[in-house]
Amino acid sequence: MSASFSQLRAARQTKETKSLVNSQSENSKATTNETFQSAPSDFNANGLYSSLPASIEIKTSETHGRGLWLKEPLKAGTVLINTKPRVAVLSNRYLDSHCSACFEPASPLKRCTQCQTVYYCDAACQTRDWPSHKNECGALQKWAEAVPALDVSVPNDGVRCLARVLWKKQKQGPESQGSREIDSMQNHRPHASSSVIELQTHLAHSLVRYIGATSPPELEAYGISSAADLVNLISRFTTNSFTVTDPTLTPIGVAISPIIALINHSCDPNAVVVFPHAASTKAKEPSMQVIALKDITPGSEILTSYIDTTVPRSLRQKSLVETYHFTCHCDLCTSESATDPRTSMACPKSCGGVCPIPTDEDTDLPRCLKCKAAVSSTDAILDAVRLGKEALEKATSLQLQDPPKARRLTTKLIEILHSAGIQPSSHPLLALSRLQHTLLISSLSGNLTQEALDETIRAINCSVIGCAAVLHEGHPVRAIALTELAKALIVDEPEPRQGPSITYPPSGPARLKLAYDTLLRARHELLIAFGRENEGGKVGRDVRDTLVAVERELGVWKQGIRNTIEDQPVPLKARTS
């Protein structure tokens, strides 16, 4: 089947990776003795969160504050919340390739003739965005005029998003529903470290310069009456902002949604936040949805993950404490399981069992859970893991500046970690595999050889295996990885192998059949990840169409086999029997 790899995603940032970036308030799950109450009635009485669906209510607890709770049973793949971001902006690197109104890629794009910075699909998108872009347009022009002093032609994503928040507060008034919902978002400034305070201070200076305020009284129109008010706003933004992603989870912007920011965290979430993208590219703006990742029963809290949950507990807790100032007590973090697939390796005696990866803190030798064999080469394994972590950090920083070097680095360290017996689901092997397969996909269009194609398929398959062990069925990251594997399998082979093949990936008809089976799996998970009513989002709809084409090709192939058999002469013994 003819398929172009240009349809697959280009190189993308792997932070998240992406996890999807969700955000919000305080701690995650309740303890056994915790009590819950409905949130104060003035939330709705004063018009706050009035767009929240009737099936969901706000409750509070003594340990983790506000959260969203489900009042009726819902199945996995159900859209729990469908809303528009209060504010959203494209990342700087996508300003000239995506429409700033609908966030969709298009060519050609029409540039704003005044600021000459943002682009639109057409006049309709530009008109829809004008109420938000009106103030921004002038600010961008003034910023560009001061480039020699400011050293950057466009302020960063955070400054641009915060400015849109202030302009909207100025237009609607500080007592409007939107302004009060922004002000009610969780603020962690009292707990911020010195480095975070320094970052927020820098952001505040850039923001004031960008909106053109020259004195404190000029900020009062935005509901900012003191320096503390400004820093509080920035703290709420950094804690509660969301990463906007394209259909393949590539980060392309930043958004704020006070309603979705009410959702608390769990490292084993029952819901995910996605940007499903409309069937038509003429969507007014990117929509945000909360999708049930699992079947959820009445009286259950809706929980998403703020962080990448493919990493070990120690790294998850470190990230949560540094960014959100709480320690997670979800089931995954409090589990006493002997081996976490995120920190596991193969049995040294190859019995088929697994054992924990040794750590510097362990004094006892790790043992296989199946045959009890001890891991004796702990120093070599610790060195391999340490090198893997260093390589991951370096390759991540190189992926945009020097992709070939990043690709070589990931390939080398993946081989070392495999040799040490590290499982595909373990850190840092899984993260390296995900980065490697992204880099290989990006390079394939200019290097479509059989060897490069097969290497890419093997790399994606390693990511799929690792993700399946640590992410719930239907998780967007897992669903997209399956989709990319299927798309790689249907690319025409430059040099198909002749005769039967016992290696992976297979060749010829067996490869096409494997692609078809993988597409079926991907579609099943996409319908959960991006919502059944959305048909699995844009990627889900593409997979549906690809399935039809592959079914047609498989049918032609089977018919050809039948025709060949019918054309063969019947053996003499068969004629006389």
Q: What is the pTM of this model?
A: 0.87
Is the pLDDT assigned to residue 498 strictly greater than 50? yes
How confident is residue 65, by pLDDT bands cut at 50, 70 and 90? confident
Beta bridge partners of 38: 59
Contacts of 392 (CB under 8 A, 6+ apart): 410, 413, 428, 431, 432, 435
What is the distance between the terminal CA atoms of the chain, rounded to a whole angstrom? Answer: 41
Classify domain 396-567 by CATH number: 1.25.40
Separation CA 487–CA 456 (nearest Å): 11
Q: Average pLDDT of 163-167?
A: 96
Tell me what the mean pLDDT of segment 361-379 comes to.
Answer: 89
| Cα–Cα distance measured from residue 225 to residue 216, given in angstroms and rounded to the nearest whole number | 7
Residue 289 near residue 531 (C-beta atoms within 8 A): yes
Say yes or no to pLDDT of 173 above 70.
yes
What is the per-residue pLDDT for 29?
A: 36
Q: What DSSP assignment string belongs to 138-207?
A: HHHHHHHHTHHHHS-SS--HHHHHHHHHHHHHHHH-TTSHHHHHHHTS---GGG--HHHHHHHHHHHHHH
Q: Which of 186-200, 354-368, 436-450 has the lowest average pLDDT?
A: 186-200
CA distance 118 to 125: 12
What is the average per-residue pLDDT within 279-301?
82
Residues in the chain: 577
CA distance 194 to 294: 39
Torsion-angle region of 29 (φ positive above 0: left; ψ -120 to 50: alpha; else: beta): beta
| 150 pLDDT higher than 60 | no
- Residue 557's nearest CA partner among 494, 510, 515, 522 is 510
Structure confidence at residue 577 as a pLDDT band (50, 70, 90): very low
Q: How far is residue 486 CA from its own chain's centroid?
A: 19
CA gap 22, 244 in Å, rounded:
10
Give yes or no for residue 568 having a pLDDT over 70: no
Delimiting residues of CATH 1.25.40 domain(s) in the chain: 396-567
Q: How far is it, in rounded angstroms, from Cα 365 to Cα 345?
A: 13
pLDDT classification of 282: cutoffs 50, 70, 90: very low
What is the rounded distance in angstroms from the CA atom of residue 465 to the CA atom of residue 74?
28
Mean pLDDT for 4-12 is 32
Instruction: Return residue ranges of the chain for CATH 2.170.270.10.
Output: 24-81+258-267+293-305
Q: Is the pLDDT of residue 567 over 60?
A: no
pLDDT computed for residue 149 by the predictor: 59
Mean predicted lDDT score pLDDT of the chain: 86
pLDDT band at 279 (very low <50, low <70, confident <90, very high): low
- Reported as a pLDDT band with limits 50, 70 and 90, residue 540 is very high
Highest mean pLDDT among 23-32, 217-226, 331-340, 405-414: 405-414
pLDDT tens for 381-390 read: 999 999 999 9
Q: Please give the Cα distance from 109 to 281 (Å, whole number).
A: 13
- Range picked from 48-52, 71-75, 106-110 for highest mean pLDDT: 71-75
pLDDT above 80: residue 319: yes
Q: Is the pLDDT of residue 7 over 70?
A: no
Residue-level pLDDT at 155: 92
Question: What's 26's DSSP letter?
Answer: S
- DSSP letter at 45 equals H
Per-residue model confidence (pLDDT) at position 28: 36
How far apart are alpha carbons 89 and 76 in whole angstroms? 30
Assign a CATH topology to domain 24-81+258-267+293-305. Answer: Beta-clip-like (2.170.270)
* Weakest-pLDDT range from 30-34, 221-225, 236-240: 30-34
Is the model's pLDDT at 103 over the cut of 90?
A: yes
Question: pLDDT tens, 479-497?
Answer: 999 999 999 999 999 998 8
Would you state the pLDDT for residue 343? Answer: 95
Decide which of 277 and 120 is more confident: 120
Report the pLDDT value the prediction gives residue 23, as an integer from 0 to 100.
33
- For the chain, percent of residues with pLDDT exceeding 90: 67
Cα dihedral sign, 550-554-560-563: negative
pLDDT score at 356? 93
Rounded Cα–Cα distance for residues 55 and 69 (Å): 9
Taking residues 441-469, report their average pLDDT: 93
